[in-house]
Amino acid sequence: MSKARIAVLVSGGGTNLESLLNAQEAGEIPHGEIVVVLSSAAGACALERAKNHGVPGFAVPRAGRPQEEFEAGLTEKLTEYRADLIILAGFLSILSPGFVERWPDRILNVHPSLIPSFCGPGMYGLKVHQEALRRGVKVTGATVHLVNEIPDGGRILLQKAVEVLPGDTPERLQRRVMEQAEWVLLPQAAELVAQGLAR
**Tally of CA atoms within 13 A in the half-sphere of 43 that contains its CB:** 1
CB–CB of 31/198 below 8 Å?
yes
Length of the chain: 199
Across the strands, what pairs with 8? 37, 87
CB–CB of 105/115 below 8 Å?
no
Phi and psi angles of residue 38, each rounded to the nearest 5 degrees, phi first:
-120, 130
> Is 111 annotated as catalytic?
yes
**What sign for the dihedral angle of Cα 170, 9, 107, 21?**
negative
Closest CA to 107 of 116, 120, 98: 98
Across the strands, what pairs with 140? 162
In the three-class reduction of DSSP (H, G, I as helix; E, B as strand; rest coil), residue 73 is classed as helix
The dihedral region occupied by 93, where left means phi > 0, alpha psi between -120 and 50, and beta the remainder, is: beta
Active-site hit among 31, 53, 111, 145: 111
The catalytic site residues sit at 111
